[in-house]
Amino acid sequence: MTANRRLDIEVTFQCTHNQADGSFGGGATYRQSGSLPDMGTVVDADGSIHLDRAASFDSSVYNTNVDVYLTLVSPANVSPDNTTTPIAWATQYGQGVTLHPPEGGGTIGEFSVETVPGNPNQILIRDKDDDSNTYHYKPAVELLEHGHYYISLDPPIVNRPPAR
């Protein structure tokens, strides 16, 4: 039986505080922290995941599925305050990540999303990687000290073309 490939991504959220109205916002940078087998560089700093750029692999050991582990770095730096705030994936009312198919549409059988037991700052996206579509995944973070303030992000996942 073959194993899923694994892609590890570290997510660093930069929080901004609008001192005029008290609201919060921000964005994230993404860093590919590992892969098994070595896929080469498939993650951009903006979070775009390009499985279409993944290196070839031994199909007697690995299958086309990819387990994408998103690990959130906490606490987040807050500017212009020069402080930090603890953050976590927004799993209180959902999965912490939503996935959207290309060109809108219905449900996605291509992915599943799971929280990693015992690690609230890690989410697992299981991708079948069996089509050639581009999906958008929206990880969301909560600022834990600010009334569970919810902030959503929006990078794409580009799947590799089907095997020929």
pLDDT tens for 63-110 read 999 999 999 999 999 999 999 999 999 887 777 888 877 765 555 677
Per-residue pLDDT tens digits for 35-70? 999 999 999 999 999 988 999 999 999 999 999 999
Provide the residue type at 75 as one letter: P
* Chain position carrying tokens 């994230």: 28
Q: Peptide bond preceding 75: is omega within 30 degrees of 0, i.e. cis? A: yes
109 vs 156: CA distance, rounded Å? 17
Residue 61: exposed, middle, or buried by beta-carbon count in 10 A (0-12, 13-18, 19+)? exposed
Residue 164 has pLDDT above 50, yes or no: no
Instruction: Check the CA dihedral 74-78-84-87 and report its sign.
Output: negative
